[in-house]
Structure 1
Amino acid sequence: MSAKLLDRVLETPIAPSFTRIGAVVRSRTEHWTDLDDYDLTGRTILLTGATSGLGLAAAHRLAGLGATLLVVGRNPAKTDAACAALPSPTGATHTPLYADLGDLAAVTALADTVIGSHGDLDTLIHNAGALSAERTENADGIESTVASQVLGPFLLTARLLPTLRSNGPARVLTMSSGGMYSAGLTVNRLQMSGPGSADPYRGAEQYARAKRAQVTLTEIWAEKFADSGVRFHSLHPG
């Protein structure tokens, strides 16, 4: 069975494709390169949500392969600690940067800092994300999940795209989730309302809507900038 056909078989029932089963089967049919075989020396990678969980694990792996990391987090103390603990087999200097991706002014400031001080950036990884039980809004009145996981990453990508293009081949990776399959994308309903509304807030579904939007935007970026030297990918963790 070809890899493409097997992929379609796994995708049909959805769930198995996004469990360990899907990863194991694909790794045996798609001839994935072992991570230890990559050499990222000379690559400069900005990684959001890098102070815990998947982001922290990814930061250690990428740094261990020789990359220079720009470690982005909301909490300065945690971000500093995470950055200081990263390996540096090539002597690369990793840099902590601070921003709440749901604060669009902070995202703009982050982009300006990167453009001014890290003009060699060639990889952007959007990993920051969280599932909220209650509806909150940012300072601009935008629902927080949409602000931090859709608008913030979109703004950061747009601001950094010229830098990425100048350093191509470059990549923009977005950590989405197979959970997006549980929600469709209706743009004018992307921001769920509060209690008592026609669309009451449900944290898990709002998270899924945001993840669906991430994948859709990745497809649009990839199509619009197909010849730019920047490749866009969205992925499910695992």
Structure 2
Amino acid sequence: MIIDLSGRTAIVTGSTEGIGFAAASALAAAGATVIVNGRTPEKAEAAAARIRQAVVGADVRAAAADLGTAEGCASLVAAEPACDILVNNAGIFQPSDFFATDDASWDRHWQVNVMSGVRLSRAYLPGMEKAGWGRVIFLASESAFNIPLEMIHYGVSKTADVAVARGLAKRMAGTGVTVNSVLPGPTLSEGVAAMLDDGDTSKSTEEKGRDFIAAHRPGSLIKRLASVEEVANMIVYVASPQASATTGAALRVDGGLVDTL
């Protein structure tokens, strides 16, 4: 399968590292014009430069905005008023016991993980509908279905992402615009690598990842962390013309963790 996104513009939120950066890179490699987003101009510009260096001929722009606020979302839309592909990837996670998680933590996860996607979808979907083509992709998580006991607040926010994507797919029915969610399992991003860094240099990060899976996600069928590139592959496919009949779906890149048919 050859995916050609030439002539399409993609915005990938939270794309200075991790899954977002991998998705932005892969979309650029498929020919899309890509807008890289981060909270600071320095990080956004540096990530855009890395993609230009890695992908010959890549058309990449940087757009700095803190999407955890309504004002930040508005500033991104002002800078980039239209797109064909919106990847709502911006997200945070913080392990915290339910009884130690205060209202501010719940609200921060809700604003970043849910409302950023709500606000940007509300801004960009009308233009996609008018054009008769568009793709909106929410980065959810297997935690949307397997609520993690160590961060219930995060799991709830990801369940909401799946629900918003499903509802928007219904709202955009028959327009040529698809809306889907992608559900990664535990993935070796920079954030997860930092979480696994316990100071023990006798094991590689990959080995520590396998230990984490065995201890905390024993239902994994691949028995390892996924790579960010593996998740990005699904995002690029869902963004492609070839995925035109896929909408309202919760697409799993979870290593088989969600135990359902």
Alignment TM-score, normalising by the size of structure 2: 0.63
Once the two structures are TM-superposed, the CA of residue 85 in structure 1 deviates from its matched residue by 1.6
CA contact (8 A) 2:52 2:60 kept: no
SS in 2 for 1:130: coil
Structure 1 residue 127 corresponds to structure 2 residue 89: yes
Mapping of residues 47-196 of structure 1, within 5 Å? 47-87=12-52, 91-115=57-81, 119=82, 121-132=83-94, 133=96, 135=102, 137=104, 143-183=107-147
Question: Which one-letter code corresponds to 2:85 in the other structure?
Answer: T
Question: Which one-letter code corresponds to 2:9 in the other structure?
Answer: T
5+ residue gaps, structure 1, are: 1-32, 185-201
Check 1:135–1:80 CA distance in 2 against 1; reply closer, same or farther (3 A cut). Answer: farther
The whole-number CA distance in structure 1 between the counterparts of 2:8 and 2:132 is: 11
Question: Which one-letter code corresponds to 2:170 in the other structure?
Answer: E
Which residue number in structure 1 is paired with residue 165 of structure 2? Answer: 218
The number of residue pairs the alignment matches comes to 179
Match of residue 228, structure 1, among 159, 175, 180: 175
| Percent of aligned pairs with the same amino acid | 31
Once the two structures are TM-superposed, the CA of residue 173 in structure 1 deviates from its matched residue by 0.4
The whole-number CA distance in structure 2 between the counterparts of 1:45 and 1:167 is: 15
Question: Which one-letter code corresponds to 2:118 in the other structure?
Answer: F
Match of residue 207, structure 1, among 146, 151, 154: 154
Q: CA RMSD in A?
A: 2.3
Check 1:100–1:135 CA distance in 2 against 1; reply closer, same or farther (3 A cut). Answer: farther
The whole-number CA distance in structure 2 between the counterparts of 1:229 and 1:110 is: 24
5+ residue gaps, structure 2, are: 185-230, 232-261
SS in 2 for 1:236: strand
The whole-number CA distance in structure 1 between the counterparts of 2:102 and 2:84 is: 35
Cα distance per residue 1:38-69 (max 9 Å; x no partner): 11111110001110111111111111111100
The whole-number CA distance in structure 2 between the counterparts of 1:106 and 1:83 is: 19
Check 1:96–1:210 CA distance in 2 against 1; reply closer, same or farther (3 A cut). Answer: same
Cα distance per residue 1:194-214 (max 9 Å; x no partner): xxxxxxxx7611110000000
Check 1:66–1:155 CA distance in 2 against 1; reply closer, same or farther (3 A cut). Answer: same
The whole-number CA distance in structure 2 between the counterparts of 1:66 and 1:111 is: 22
Alignment TM-score, normalising by the size of structure 1: 0.69
Once the two structures are TM-superposed, the CA of residue 228 in structure 1 deviates from its matched residue by 2.2
The whole-number CA distance in structure 1 between the counterparts of 2:165 and 2:67 is: 17
